[in-house]
Amino acid sequence: MGDCCLIVEFGQRVDSQINQITRAFAEHLLSHPIPGVYDVVPTYTTVAVHYHPESFLGDVLPWQRLQRQLEAVLTQGIETASAVARVVEVPVYYGGDQGPDLIEVAQKCGLAEEEVVQLHSSPVYTVYMLGFLPGFPYIGGLDKRLNMPRRKTPRTTVPAGSVAIAGEQAAIYPMESPGGWNLIGRTPVTLFQPQAEPPCLLQPGDKVRFVPISFEQFQAMQRQ
């Protein structure tokens, strides 16, 4: 990907097993660092390896040299240790000004608004990756009846805490930003704190449940 990043792909669909292998490969690269690689970014099915080309000088071009090293790691094999996942409950106020797309999602999916809330707050989800924004979790496990494409033109401003869906994915906006996902609710919980280590509430591999709350509860928790 460009002249300073290689992408290793393990599959092309949202799948907990593929994602587990993807995360294991990223963990391996983090615990056995390659000099010159400065960022390792696991996603649903890929691991991005960001590197400084000047650290990979030799008889072939830097991208070829790093590619050989990564192939060697994969040939040797990696451990896929599975730790017990945490379950994090995320309170959500659905609809109204906090979830401006709930009505449209319900209409396009042929459901009542209450059914959308019910379907969204029932499953135990898995955090597959973080990306797009600091602490932004891409969450898998969305009910297939809630499959909605991204909005044609992204909004220029989405408020922090917005709970959103797009395609097979669920997410939460940790801070105000532009965004193209469908906003169905909002959480009063803080997802990202720059001074904390690690700086984000949700980590890849975490389990997540969305818990519906009233507007009064939302306001009370926001004041805390």
Partner 1 sequence: MSVRVVKPGMLTTLQDRGRIGYQRFGVVVGGAMDDWSHRAANALVGNRQDEATLEITAVGPSLIFNEITLIAICGGDLSPRIGGEPVPQGRPVLVNAGSQLEFGARQSGFRVYLAVHGGFDVKPTMHSRSTYLRGVFGGLNGRALRAGDEIHIGNGDAEGCYPALTQRLDRAKPTFAAAPQAFVSSSANDALETVRIVRGEQWRAFVEKSQTAFISDDFTIGTQSDRMGYRIEGVTLKLRQPLEMLSEAVGFGTVQVPPDGNPIVLMADRQTTGGYPKIAHVASVDLPLLAQMSPRQRLRFHPIALDESQKLYLAREQALQDLIKSVVAWSGV
Selection from 180, 202, 200, 204 nearest residue 192 by Cα: 200
Cβ–Cβ under 8 Å, residues 184 and 65 = no
Q: Which residues of 63-76 are buried (b: 16+ CB within 10 A; e: fewer)?
A: bebbbebbeeeeee
| Residue 177 C-beta: closest distance to partner 1, Å | 6
189 part of the interface to partner 1, by CB under 8 A = no
134 part of the interface to partner 1, by CB under 8 A = yes
If you write DSSP's letter for every residue of 40-84 in order, what string do you get?
Answer: EEE-SSEEEEEE-GGGS-SSS-HHHHHHHHHHHHHHH------PP
| Residue 111 C-beta: closest distance to partner 1, Å | 20
Binding residue for partner 1 (CB under 8 A) from 31, 54, 81, 144? Answer: 54
Binding residue for partner 1 (CB under 8 A) from 36, 123, 159, 180? Answer: 180
Binding residue for partner 1 (CB under 8 A) from 24, 25, 28, 44? Answer: 44
Cα–Cα dist 41/174, whole Å: 18
| Residue 158 C-beta: closest distance to partner 1, Å | 11
Cα–Cα dist 145/147, whole Å: 6
Q: Where do contacts with partner 1 occur on this chain (CB under 8 A)?
A: 1-5, 7, 12-14, 26, 38-46, 48, 50, 53-54, 57, 61-63, 129-136, 138, 149-150, 152-154, 156, 166-167, 169, 174-178, 180, 192, 194-195, 198-200, 204
